Amino acid sequence: MPDLHALYRDLHQHPELSLQEFRTAAVLADELRPLGYEVTTEVGGTGVVGVLRNGEGPIVMLRADIDALPVQEATGLPYASTARATTVDGEDVPVAHACGHDMHATCLIGAAAELVRTREEWAGTLLVVFQPAEELGQGARNMVDDGMFDRFGTPEVVLAQHVGPLPAGMIAHGSGPVLAASDSVRVTLFGRGGHGSAPESAVDPVLMAAHTVVRLQGIVAREISPAERAVVTVGRLQAGTKENVIPETAEIGVNIRTFNEHVRGIVRAAVERIARAEAAASGAPREPEFDWYDGTPVLVSDPEATTRTMAAFAEHFGMHNLIPGAVVNASEDVGVFGTAAGVPTVFWFLGGTDLSTREPGQPVAMNHSPEYAPDVEPTLSTGVDALVVAARTWLR
C-alpha cells in the first residue's frame, strides 16, 4: 500500500486535461509492465490497455478513467495540484483531479498487482483499461473506434467504479439506469449591434439571451412528466465587451441530463424551439445556431450482472457496507464499452469520505468542487478490494 499511496499522490499532483493525459498514461503504463501485462499505449489517443493472459477462461475488463478538470484546487493538501494547462481554445487554466479519477487509476493499478499475485487462484484474461477524456464523454468512444476489442479481445463483462462523497468503506450500487445521459449545446443568438444610448436602432441579443435562459427553466417543470427525471442547466452566458455597446451576438451554454431517449428527445427539441421563438420575438436578423457536443448515453448497470457482482461484494464487505438503489444525475461514458462489445456493464460508487475525520456538521465537498479530494484511506484499500472481488467473480 505505501507504493500505491505514493502513486496516488503523484497522480494527484500532476493532473492533465482530457485528451492531454500524456504523462499520466506513461506513468500508468510503467506501473503495469513490471507486473507482466502486455501494455499498449496511445489507444484512442492517450488510452492505455494492459492484457494479462492466465490460461483458459473468460476475458474480464476493468476500467478506470484518468483525466482531470480545469479547476483551481483548494483542498489545502500537502500534495495539492498547482498545475496549469492550455485548453483546446487556447485558454490558460488551472488543473486538478477534482473528480477523483486519480483514485480510480490508483485502485486499478493496485487491483492489477493483486490479481497477478493471486493468479494461481483464477483463470482467464484480464483486460485492464485506463481511459482518457471521460469528462468530455469522448474517451470510451475513441478507444472503441480505435479497434480496442478487435485488438485485445471482447470481454464477457465491463466492470468500473466511481469515487464520491459517500462514507469511506461503503459501496453504493444500482440496477438498470444508474447515471443520466448528458448533452451539451452552445446556442448562439444573433442581434444587431449598436450604441447603448440608442437601443431602438439595434436588436439586443443580451435581452434575447436573458429571456431564453428564463424560459428554458420551464422545460422540466412544464413539459416533462413528474414521474420522469430530467435536468436543464444554463451554465454559461457570454455577450459583449463594454457596458454601453449592444453586441452582435450572445452565447448560451446549456447542459441536459435525462434517463431515457424519449425524454432526451423532448428536452433537446424544446431547447431549440424556445431559442428560435425568443429570437423571432426579438426580431433577430437570423435564426440561432446550435452546436451539440459532449453527448453521453444513459449508463445502465446490467441487472443480472449487477446482482451477481453485488452478491460477491456482500460476502466480502458485508451487507452493512452496501447501499442499494443509487441513481445519480451525473454522467459517465463507460457504458459505451459494454454497448459496443454487446456485453453487460456493472458500475458501482465507492465511498471516499472518512467521516471520523470530520467535525459534526462539517460539509462534505462534492465531486468537481475545488475542495474535493477523497480521503486516501480507507478509500484506496476498499477500491482495490472491490475491483479484485468483482474481477474474480467473473474469472474462472
Query: Each residue of 234-278: pLDDT tens digit?
Result: 999 999 999 999 999 999 999 999 999 999 999 999 999 999 999
| Residue 2: pLDDT over 80 | no
d(CA 297, CA 165): 23
The predicted-structure confidence for 122-137, as pLDDT tens digits, reads as follows 999 999 999 999 999 9
Q: Where are the alpha helices (DSSP H) in 69-170?
A: 101-117, 139-145, 148-152
Per-residue confidence band for 352, with pLDDT thresholds at 50, 70 and 90: very high
Query: pLDDT above 70 covers what percent of the chain?
Result: 100
pLDDT of residue 361: 78
Dmax (CA) for the chain in angstroms is: 81
3-state secondary structure at position 91: coil
Cα separation of 294 and 275, whole Å?
20
The predicted pLDDT at position 357 comes to: 81
1 pLDDT more than 80: no
Classify the C-alpha dihedral 158-366-177-297 as positive or negative.
negative
pLDDT band at 326 (very low <50, low <70, confident <90, very high): confident
Q: What's the chain's average pLDDT?
A: 96
Question: Domain extents for the chain?
Answer: 2-179+298-394, 181-295
Per-residue pLDDT tens over the stretch 72-96: 999 999 999 999 999 988 999 999 9
Tell me the C-alpha distance between 162 and 90, whole Å. Answer: 30
Model confidence at 305: pLDDT above 80:
yes
Options 3.30.70.360, 3.20.20.60, 3.40.50.1360, 3.10.50.40; CATH of 181-295: 3.30.70.360
193: which 3 cell numbers?
449591434
In the beta sheet, which residues pair with residue 213?
Answer: none
Pick the CATH number of 2-179+298-394 from 3.40.630.10, 3.90.1300.10, 3.40.640.10, 3.10.200.10: 3.40.630.10
Q: Which SS3 state, helix, strand or coil, does residue 22 take?
A: helix
Q: What is the pLDDT of residue 243?
A: 95
As a three-state string, the secondary structure of 192-245 is: ECEECCCHHHCECHHHHHHHHHHHHCHHHHHHCCCCCCEEEEEEEEEECCCCCE
CA gap 215, 189 in Å, rounded = 15
Q: What is the pLDDT of residues 195-245, one digit of tens each?
A: 999 999 999 999 999 999 999 999 999 999 999 999 999 999 999 999 999
Bigger pLDDT: 295 or 340? 340
Cα 333 from Cα 306, distance rounded (Å): 18
Tell me which residue has cell 424544446.
270
Inform me whether the pLDDT recorded for 362 exceeds 90.
Answer: no
CATH topology match: 2-179+298-394 vs 181-295:
no
Task: Estimate to the nearest angstrom the gap between the alpha carbon of 307 and the chain centroid.
Answer: 24
Q: What is the 3-state secondary structure (H, E, C) of 238-286?
A: EECCCCCEECCEEEEEEEEEECCHHHHHHHHHHHHHHHHHHHHHCCCCC
The predicted pLDDT at position 360 comes to 80
Q: Can you give the pLDDT at residue 363?
A: 85
Instruction: Give the phi and the psi of residue 45 in degrees, each rounded to 5.
Output: 115, -95
pLDDT at residue 356 in the model: 83
* Grid cell of 119 as nine digits: 493468479
User: In the numeric block, which cell numbers belong to residue 334?
Assistant: 463507460
For residues 282-310, give the mean pLDDT: 96
| Over residues 322-327, mean pLDDT | 89
| Planar angle of CA 305, 307, 310, nearest 5 degrees | 105
